[in-house]
Amino acid sequence: MPASKAPLAAPLPHQRTRRDHSNETAEDYVEAIAEILTEKKECRAVDLAAFFGVSHVTVKRIVSRLAGEGLLQTEPYRPITLTRQGKRLATMSRQRHEIVQNFLLAIGVDAATAALDTEGIEHHVSPKTLARFEELTQSLRAADRSR
Amino acid sequence: MPASKAPLAAPLPHQRTRRDHSNETAEDYVEAIAEILTEKKECRAVDLAAFFGVSHVTVKRIVSRLAGEGLLQTEPYRPITLTRQGKRLATMSRQRHEIVQNFLLAIGVDAATAALDTEGIEHHVSPKTLARFEELTQSLRAADRSR
DNA sequence: GCAGAAATGTAGCATATGCTACATTTCGTG
DNA sequence: CACGAAATGTAGCATATGCTACATTTCTGC
């Protein structure tokens, strides 16, 4: 493999992008579970299936995997709970989600589009970029107030 | 299934996010092929393998799929060319890529981070949001010039 | 023109995510 | 409490993406 032949461009970035995909699901799931738990006091596989629009079988398999990764806990025919680690990830994911969404709103994207785009974007925004988003959100709000 | 029970939130957005994943690969590939063709006059599977950091087997399978979708053409042991449709998609992808990247640069993200984040973000930015990115990029550049 | 290198192709395996169909368990209600 | 509905579990299949190992074809340089 041309590892010495100057691969033209970006060989590593894409690798990161691909690798991230596995984490996206984890973040989506713990975030969804946390959200459901704020309104229902119990999170069942059905809830997640409805939330994501997939079958309960798909949810079951992913939940099993995430349980193995220490993010959540389940027992047969029992509801799903987040571990300490899962809660931490959920909180971070939610915060990042909100920062991105508020930023899109601040730059004038309509609410529906902002919500939709945030779903896709949030997992790919690095801490550095996220920091810029926050700063710019503040600036734009300030400018808006003094207008 | 709580289809009548107010599914809490976002059941459809996530579906869209998942569905998009298949298109991402297509966009990444035609964009990469177009870029390679600007510098080498011929795009081989090896080039793509090096570009994405995957094996030539993975490239081969994806290229076959995209050929079946009418985005590109290949014959056994021959280089890869884009169809008219593939070129169109490549151009659109590149434009979107540049808009996103220039926007991140305009808001003060460093070049390396901007390049990396753009890879992940570009496929999830809707036309509406993209339009805002462009506008804001112009505004920020103007503000920068008059500073 | 021919031998070795480079590029492609093929076989077979793995993981992640999606599904339907059917089995089992739990829950709710009469 | 028992029976049906709801929820969960299991089996088996599909697609997309990743790999290694090995076969085949093309290209290159002598």
3 state DSSP class of A32: helix
Q: Which of A64-68, B8-12, B105-109 has the lowest mean pLDDT?
A: B8-12
Angstrom CA distances, A81 to A27, A43, A55, A72, A84, stand at 14, 7, 20, 6, 10
Which residues make beta-bridge pairs with A80? Answer: A43
Distance B22 CA to D8 C1' (A): 30
CB distance B30 to B86 below 8 Å: yes
pLDDT grade for A71, boundaries at 50, 70 and 90: very high
Q: What string of DSSP letters covers A66-128? A: HHHTTSEE--TT--BEE-HHHHHHHHHHHHHHHHHHHHHHHTT--HHHHHHHHHHHGGG--HH
Which candidate from B51, B108, B126 shows the least CB-CB separation from A11?
B51
Distance A75 CA to C3 C1' (A): 64
Within 13 Å and on the Cβ side, how many CA atoms surround B58? 11
Residue ranges in chain B assigned as alpha helix (H) = 12-40, 45-52, 56-68, 84-106, 111-121, 127-145
Q: Hey, CA dihedral for B5, A120, B128, A53, is it positive or negative?
A: negative
A30 backbone dihedrals φ, ψ, rounded to 5°: -65, -35
Angstrom CA distances, A2 to B29, B30, B38, B53, B60, stand at 18, 21, 19, 10, 17
Q: Do B13 and A119 touch (CB under 8 A)?
A: yes
Question: How does the average pLDDT of chain A come out, rounded?
Answer: 89
- What pLDDT, in 10s, does the model give residues B103-120? 999 999 999 999 999 999
- Residue whose C-alpha is closest to residue B92's, from B26, B36, B37, B39: B26
Mean pLDDT of A121-142: 96
Question: How does the average pLDDT of chain B come out, rounded?
Answer: 89
Q: Which of A1-10, A54-63, A137-146, B43-52 has the lowest mean pLDDT?
A: A1-10
Mean pLDDT of B31-60: 97
Q: Taking the C1' atom of C26, which residue's CA lies nearest? A: A77
Q: Do A8 and B109 touch (CB under 8 A)?
A: no
pLDDT cut 90: percent of chain A above it: 81
Distance A127 CA to D4 C1' (A): 52
pLDDT grade for A146, boundaries at 50, 70 and 90: confident
Within 13 Å and on the Cβ side, how many CA atoms surround B73? 6
Is the pTM here over 0.75, yes or no? yes
